[in-house]
Amino acid sequence: MKLGVNIDHVATLRQARYAADIHAHNAEPNLVAAAAACEQAGAHGITIHLRADRRHIQDADVWELRQSLRTRLNLEMGNTPEILAIALKVRPHEVCLVPENRAEITTEGGLEVAGQWDALRPTVDQLRAGGIRVSMFIEPEARQIEASKALGADMVELHTGAFANAQGEPHRQELVRLQQAAELAHSIGLQVNAGHGINYENIARIRQIPHLAELNIGHSIVARAIFVGMEQAVKDMLAGMAGR
């Protein structure tokens, strides 16, 4: 498995004080430096979510990271014309289409791909025509997986939030659901990624999901980085992913 580190919440900390001028000489923390630390520690890519409300990542961050990264930039985005236009100009290596609700604290569930075919198809077509690989952030459900494939997506990212939040038997059931979804997605030629709520405690059980190519993890790594530093936090997660 490869690791994409989501650095949205590094930007959240910066915005808490420097939202008015992210390029002020004393604005911190610096996202480019945070991304470089992740790469130095062995991360295989950097993930950011450019939201319509710009609550953390800003347009300038997308451009700066695209130019500075040595690995890959994965841009999470809602299906809006404004953000699509930015993606087509910046040309990140990958785009992950996600649902977006301005009232949410974080992404609350998977994208309703099967029910938004007409709205999603032009976006997927334009991204792929621009040489950008496309992922769908979805619930681990057969209809969403099959719709993602039919739309032309290259990948699905299975939403692991219900798994991460559950305990006891519901937790086991969610793991089984993820395992079955991963088997189906792999069988029809989709790359299988996963993300949301993955942390240092549940990573051992995440490893029981077959065919996982990449995990996108943010909050847990940034939270640990407060105590041990970004490089060590990334190394610790990579060790967990490898079963060490």
Q: What is the sign of the dihedral through the CA atoms of 75, 77, 81 and 83?
A: negative
Query: Does residue 56 carry a catalytic annotation?
Result: no
Catalytic option among 9, 56, 76, 141: 76
76 is an active site residue = yes
Structure tokens at 132: 């950008």
Kindly give, in sequence order, each residue whose CB lies less than 8 Å from that of residue 214, ignoring residues fewer than 6 positions away.
1, 2, 3, 4, 44, 45, 191, 193, 194
Q: Return the C-alpha torsion angle 44, 216, 77, 72, nearest 10.
A: 0
136 pairs with which residues across the strands? 97, 156
Whether 219 is catalytic is no
DSSP conformation class of 44: S
Amino acid at 54: R
* DSSP, res 29: S
Single out the catalytic residue among 9, 49, 56, 159: 49
End-to-end CA distance of the chain: 13
Q: Which of 9, 157, 196, 214 is catalytic?
A: 196
Catalytic residues: 49, 76, 196
